[in-house]
Structure 1
Amino acid sequence: MKWVKQHPVVTNMITLYKKKRFWAGLLLAQFLLFYVFSKSGVMISFFERFFELQKAVHQIIFSWIPFSLGDVLYILLGIFLMYCIIKCFKKTSRNISLLRILLIINVFYFVYQIFWGMLYFQIPIIKKLSSQEEPTVAKAKVLALKYLTQCKETRKKVKQDHNGIFVVTDLKSIQKEILFQQSKLPEYISDKKAPQVNSFKPSLFKNVMSFTGILGYYNPFTAEAQYNSELPNTYIPFTSAHESSHQLGFAREQEANFVGYLIGIHSKNIELRYSTEYFTLKSLLNFIVDEDPEFVKSVLANYSPEMKKDRAYEKSFVLKHQGFLNEFFGFTNNLFLKSNQQEGSVTYSYFIDLLLNYEKV
């Protein structure tokens, strides 16, 4: 029998094809595997315990770096992916570039899931509260009036710039207070370890973030809490508390809002408390506005002069940075939240649900 020797180029093409098929199949297998894991209480518990370990290790390794290492990693990854995509347009390098992209996606997806993704399937906080009643507009109104009064009083005690706009005077002390308050969370809500490691970082993407509506984000690969340092100061303390809640291990966005609320609302740091009270008031008004816009107008009209200046500055910041990126990131974030069994980015009723049941209005 005569054997026909294949040309080296043909052999190489077949090998690359098999490798691409392997990595594509492995990615599909990962999707199915982590889907099965998400339905298992035992596996979710395992990933919760694993998160505590990797969180502690990552914060020790990365927290001392003065800039966001996670952002640098994202930049390098983005550059390499763009290089591979460009190479895909050339026939001679198309197959190897596609193979590299598939390899990167597999590794990224696997690491993301074991470090963070499975935490979206933890037991919801709402199930840990003694009261689990449906939120109502009537209850939200009572709480809105309460926080309006508190905001007006707290606003008198904070500093402001020459334009009368609230300013943060000591961000480091706010961060220190957030870490302290993490250890004071009610045990029935959080049994997570608060390592007291400061790993808050201003994002390197702040200029882009201002046009996307993203206030901050948690990097699961380095355990850093990023915030947009260009934001109006009314946002920054509570955004930091929110991202610190992700650092603790609360993955769902509205649960991170609620834990951030618990961190800030009882704080002795007046700047953190004002930012938290103000966020809570705005969230309640957003919940109420569709049902009773006149009530919301009445509350806004009763803002103190200082609060009105803070609100006007926030509105001018948002209007200045509106555009295509804002809509695009809002759409993609909405899809991401829903893919992880969360409400969409526009709906904040779960936070209000947690808030009203906790406050027992």
Structure 2
Amino acid sequence: MHKKTKIILTLLLIAQIIGLRILSFFPEFVEKYYSLGIYPFLSKTLRYLFGWVPFSVGDVFYSALVILALRWLYLNFRNVKSKTVSFFLDITATLSIMYFLFNILWGFNYYRVPLHQTLELERDYTTEQLLTLTNALIEKSNDLHRELGYKDSVKIVIPYSQKEIFNLSPNGYQNLSKQFPTLNYTPKSIKKSGWSLGLTYMGYSGYYNPFTAEAQVNNLIKNSRFPVVTCHEEAH
């Protein structure tokens, strides 16, 4: 990469940061033209491209990225003193490209209209209302527990495998889309993360890969949490 190109990309990184700060003041614009405009097309395209692959393409992408970064550091670290400017321009130019791709493929959603507004949900509540809802949910959970035929002191064992939970998860979005059409989720792209051990050490149950639109789930978590985490990551 020529030095001039690296300088331009570095300046564009600064421009992106400033531009995003400005964009944060216009959530309606982001909502209309990105979140409900460009993004659904990009996301669906990526899910069609990678969703059918039986393994996590995102894991392969990140692994390759780490290997290439380590290789580059190994080959160029000795030049830090002699070619300091060029060394750091390489880094900032690469960051500029990655930052641009991240924002185009998903990141602009950080600046959209809050979900409670788009779904016309009440945001404010009192402590009493919170306690009332909590107690109602506890009673509902206990009722469902009894309906399943379990004693109150016996834990419920989920009868589904992780793969079956993946296959069942779109049903929830299909039901929700009847009331909220924007929550329709097709095609699905949900994968077990090959980085599950690392995610466990870091305390993560899953993540969304913006570069491949794959919902990644830590397959080492308990099955009782698997449906919630699966649907959460798909929600991105």
Same fold per TM (> 0.5)?
yes
Higher RCO (C-alpha under 8 Å, 6+ residues apart): 2
Distance 1:131 1:46 in 2: 22
Q: Say what the alpha-carbon RMSD is for the aligned residues.
A: 2.9
Larger Rg: 1
Q: Secondary structure at the match of 1:225?
A: strand
Q: Does 1:146 align with 2:136?
A: yes
Q: Secondary structure at the match of 2:54?
A: coil
Q: CA deviation at 1:165?
A: 6.5
Amino acid in structure 2 at the alignment position of 1:132: E
Distance 1:150 1:123 in 2: 32
Q: Tell me, yes or no, if the aligned pair for 1:115 and 1:220 is still in contact at 8 Å.
A: yes
Distance 1:17 1:51 in 2: 33
Distance 2:186 2:145 in 1: 28
Residue 158 and residue 214 in structure 1: after superposition, are their counterparts in 2 closer, same or farther (change >3 A)?
farther
Distance 2:11 2:133 in 1: 52
User: What's the % identity of the aligned pairs?
Assistant: 25
Amino acid in structure 2 at the alignment position of 1:201: K
Q: Secondary structure at the match of 2:78?
A: coil
Please name the residue that 2:34 is paired with.
Answer: 47
Distance 1:130 1:30 in 2: 31
Distance 1:133 1:32 in 2: 30
Q: How does 1:1-361 map to 2 (within 5 A)?
A: 18-40=4-26, 41-48=28-35, 49-91=37-79, 96-128=86-118, 132=122, 134-156=124-146, 157=148, 166-185=157-176, 190-192=180-182, 194-246=184-236
Deviations along 1:274-327, whole A, 9 cap, x unmatched? xxxxxxxxxxxxxxxxxxxxxxxxxxxxxxxxxxxxxxxxxxxxxxxxxxxxxx
Q: CA deviation at 1:166?
A: 3.0
Q: Tell me, yes or no, if the aligned pair for 1:63 and 1:198 is still in contact at 8 Å.
A: yes
Q: Secondary structure at the match of 2:23?
A: helix
Q: Secondary structure at the match of 1:192?
A: helix
Q: Secondary structure at the match of 1:90?
A: helix
Amino acid in structure 2 at the alignment position of 1:73: F
Q: Secondary structure at the match of 1:211?
A: helix
Distance 2:156 2:175 in 1: 31
Q: Tell me, yes or no, if the aligned pair for 2:190 and 2:230 is still in contact at 8 Å.
A: yes
Q: Tell me, yes or no, if the aligned pair for 2:7 and 2:89 is still in contact at 8 Å.
A: no
Q: CA deviation at 1:235?
A: 1.1
Distance 2:186 2:231 in 1: 13
Task: Normalising by structure 2, report the TM-score.
Answer: 0.82
| Consecutive unaligned residues in structure 2, runs of 5 or more | none
| Consecutive unaligned residues in structure 1, runs of 5 or more | 1-14, 247-361
Residue 60 and residue 142 in structure 1: after superposition, are their counterparts in 2 closer, same or farther (change >3 A)?
same
Q: Greater CA deviation, 209-218 or 164-173?
A: 164-173
Distance 2:113 2:47 in 1: 25
Distance 2:121 2:183 in 1: 25
Task: Normalising by structure 1, report the TM-score.
Answer: 0.56
